Structure 1
Amino acid sequence: MALVLPAVSRLRPLLLFAGLALAVVATEHLVTTRPIFFQRPALPMAVAFDVLVGLPALFYWLVVRRYGLPLSTLVAALGACLALATWLLPAGQQQPLRALAFLPALLEGATLALAVARAGRLWRAYRAARQHRGRGPSLGQALEQVLGWPGVLLVAESNMLRYAVLGWWAPLEVRPAHAAFSGHRESGFVALMATAGFLTLIETAAVHLVVGHWHPVAANWLTFLSLYTVLLLVAHAHAVRLCPVLLSDALLEVRVGFAWRVVVPRAAVAAAAIREAPAPAADMLNAAKVLLASSNVLLTFAAPVVVAGPYGTRRTVRRLALYLDQPRAFLGALAGGPAA
């Protein structure tokens, strides 16, 4: 019972979103099945706005922002909302959705054209970056520099697929002369991810059967997006397991899966203590949310540092809250002599 209550508390924002989303969908379904819906031309646009803007906004505020999830989850939510809007709106009232049908193809074509046009710059950037970093990281850095936002998306999705597919056999991403500190063993993080993935698969089967009775195409899209979500959960679990916090005699590298990463000189840490994260503030980042855990280490930096987030996002912070399996050992190594 003691283990169930913390798990429920962690899932409270997700459950709140699920309740609000069900209420919105029920309301929109009631509106679209009334005779007045076909007499008011503005109603289809209003329903499309509620589903394609309102629901993703709720998902971002209550789930993505609360847990610090990658923005790819928001992209998946947008796709699910598009399928939901297609199911809700009758066939003759889907004018607001027709303009969106070509959006994925346009984005893919624009990204491909941009990559071809900048192939020469991409090769030069890759060669320059490879002199300072490994082959894999240098390619990602070159893509981000040359392609801009499309390159950031491509690198993020490639990393996600790499962890999801190859993470089962990949070794820990550690380096010589670095002490490694994990953050997934004692929190039950892997069990939570496995439970979330299993529940998602069950829900996917049930939703496919129910929605498929009325709209097979929407059911297939929802199934695809649910399976993508499971893939994302698998990748997140592997990334957290394979990317511990690293401490050397000169540097501190904090990695929380592929969600947050910051590398600072060891001397840049002005204070470190075992404590939970204080109240949310503009100068603090609680990276433990990505682990669905309460933080137990608070780092305070001598000057603001830039933390790299998913999909090219950046946060400038003075305080960083973490969850570590062995917080006292980490603080002892940080304050003591050689780290490894």
Structure 2
Amino acid sequence: MTLTPAYNYRPALWFAGLLLALLFVERLITLQPQFALQPALPAAVTFDLLAGIPLLFYFFIVRRYRLPVTTVVGAFGGALALGYYLIPAGQQQYLGWARQSLVLLEAGVLVVAVANLRRLVRAYAEAARRSADFVENLNAAFAAVFRRSMAPLVSEVVMFRYALLGWWARPEVGAGQRAFSNHRDSGFLALVITCCALSVIETAAMHMLVSRWNATAAVVVLVLDVYTLVFLLAHLRAVMLRPATLENGQLLVRIGFAWRFAVPVQAVVHADELRDTPEPDKLTLNLAKLLFTAPNVRLTFAESVTITGLYGIRRQTKQVALYVDDRAEFLRQLRTKLSTD
């Protein structure tokens, strides 16, 4: 089994390191006594921030990760905000000029965003005619509009969709698909709901505790805790909406929005029933871990299959361990299709 990350994080680390170095140097300059006495220094610092940060972002983030060029406007806005933080109030006249240009840039980005949003809606509607899988349809829509994989962005959109809007959604099972749930008999629902309740209590207590020490740190901790709670809620609802399915000789396995793979039934060479929790095995990918239960089915494939995960992560494996509520019926259906196809 091999792990293949969809993205190389080295460019992002380079960007972060150079950004911190730039901010450190500019901060030292603004603290010098002669900074307020020499007009060229505020102009130079402003230029370094407003030109340097977007350029670094473009070369290390936009080009390396193939993001839309319009995202540079966001980096320019961030550089402007840092400028107001680093440069003393009396020397911020150049920032005022840049702020006016930012309004025009934001207007242009808004026009592009609206146009892309309309294209995304049309592309998603087209994909939804062929599949009931929300995640795959959204991935297909982004790929059709932007001509590249946008897996990290799609993962974030998907998470908030399931957490906030998934409670009104229907199970993602198409006509003719035989669905096999993996949350009803495992204790998954009770465990995640308990974790969510404890997370709310912990968030409130931690926020009050940290706020006595540092207000900024308290806000950071609060944001991280809320993000964790949103992830848990999204995972809870996604597991309920995205069961494994069998249809026309095709096996589709989904673990919430975290893992997914689809293979022809004929790719399965062994379908075994697991009575006890298997020993850790580097050759077997245990997909039941995110259901917080022991697997009860093991599938072995003739060749390595690709398991797609969050943020574009991919794993290659020849064997997976699953949990299925109706294990007997799942294995019966799978073996029947193996014998007839």
Q: Normalized against structure 2, the TM-score is what?
A: 0.61
1:113 to 69, 79, 96: 69
Write out aligned runs for 1:234-273 (5 A). Answer: 234-273=233-272
Q: What is residue 293 of structure 1 aligned with on the other side?
A: 293
| Residue 259 to residue 250, structure 1, CA distance change in 2 (3 Å) | same
Alignment partners' CA distance in 2, 1:336 and 1:192: 34
What is the CA-CA distance between 1:282 and the residue it aligns to? 4.0
What is the CA-CA distance between 1:249 and the residue it aligns to? 3.2
Letter in 1 for 2:228: T
| Residue 163 to residue 187, structure 1, CA distance change in 2 (3 Å) | same
| Residue 270 to residue 158, structure 1, CA distance change in 2 (3 Å) | same
5+ residue gaps in structure 2? 1-5, 7-48, 72-108
Letter in 1 for 2:219: N
Matched, 1:309 2:265: no
Alignment partners' CA distance in 1, 2:198 and 2:225: 11
Letter in 2 for 1:309: G
Q: What is residue 178 of structure 1 aligned with on the other side?
A: 177
State the Cα deviation string for residues 22-44 of structure 1 (Å, max 9, x = none): xxxxxxxxxxxxxxxxxxxxxxx
State the Cα deviation string for residues 231-267 of structure 1 (Å, max 9, x = none): 1100000000110110123100001101111111111
Which of 155-164 and 140-149 deviates more? 140-149
Alignment partners' CA distance in 2, 1:231 and 1:326: 29
State the Cα deviation string for residues 253-307 of structure 1 (Å, max 9, x = none): 0011011111111111111011156443443210000001000000011111111
Letter in 2 for 1:302: A
Alignment partners' CA distance in 1, 2:57 and 2:147: 16
| Residue 205 to residue 106, structure 1, CA distance change in 2 (3 Å) | farther
What is the CA-CA distance between 1:175 and the residue it aligns to? 1.3
Q: What is residue 227 of structure 1 aligned with on the other side?
A: 226
Q: Give secondary structure in 1 for the equivalent of 2:306.
A: strand
Alignment partners' CA distance in 2, 1:217 and 1:225: 13
Alignment partners' CA distance in 1, 2:199 and 2:252: 33
Alignment partners' CA distance in 1, 2:130 and 2:172: 14
State the Cα deviation string for residues 308-338 of structure 1 (Å, max 9, x = none): 1111011111111001111111001111259
Runs (4 or more) in structure 1 with deviation over 6 Å come to 115-120
Alignment partners' CA distance in 2, 1:134 and 1:303: 26
What is the CA-CA distance between 1:178 and the residue it aligns to? 1.4
Contact preservation (8 Å) 2:151, 2:310: no
Alignment partners' CA distance in 2, 1:128 and 1:249: 24
Alignment partners' CA distance in 1, 2:123 and 2:200: 43
Alignment partners' CA distance in 2, 1:215 and 1:128: 44
Q: Give secondary structure in 2 for the equivalent of 1:184.
A: coil
State the Cα deviation string for residues 111-164 of structure 1 (Å, max 9, x = none): 5635679989x969x869947955964452243574757x21110011111111
Letter in 1 for 2:303: A
Which of 269-278 and 152-161 deviates more? 269-278
Contact preservation (8 Å) 1:181, 1:330: yes
Q: What is residue 198 of structure 1 aligned with on the other side?
A: 197
| Residue 114 to residue 304, structure 1, CA distance change in 2 (3 Å) | farther
Q: What is residue 76 of structure 1 aligned with on the other side?
A: none
Letter in 2 for 1:273: D
Alignment partners' CA distance in 1, 2:124 and 2:235: 30
Q: What is residue 211 of structure 2 aligned with on the other side?
A: 212
Alignment partners' CA distance in 1, 2:70 and 2:304: 35
Write out aligned runs for 1:33-112 (5 A). Answer: 111=67
Pairs aligned (count)? 239
Alignment partners' CA distance in 2, 1:205 and 1:280: 37
Letter in 1 for 2:251: L
5+ residue gaps in structure 1? 1-70, 72-98
What is the CA-CA distance between 1:197 and the residue it aligns to? 0.8
Q: What is residue 319 of structure 2 aligned with on the other side?
A: 319
Contact preservation (8 Å) 1:307, 1:316: yes
Letter in 2 for 1:203: E
Alignment partners' CA distance in 1, 2:163 and 2:288: 21
Alignment partners' CA distance in 1, 2:179 and 2:243: 6
Instruction: From the CA coordinates, give the structure whose radius of gyration is larger.
Output: 2
Contact preservation (8 Å) 1:184, 1:241: yes
| Residue 332 to residue 128, structure 1, CA distance change in 2 (3 Å) | closer
Alignment partners' CA distance in 2, 1:194 and 1:303: 38
| Residue 199 to residue 337, structure 1, CA distance change in 2 (3 Å) | same
What is the CA-CA distance between 1:179 and the residue it aligns to? 1.0
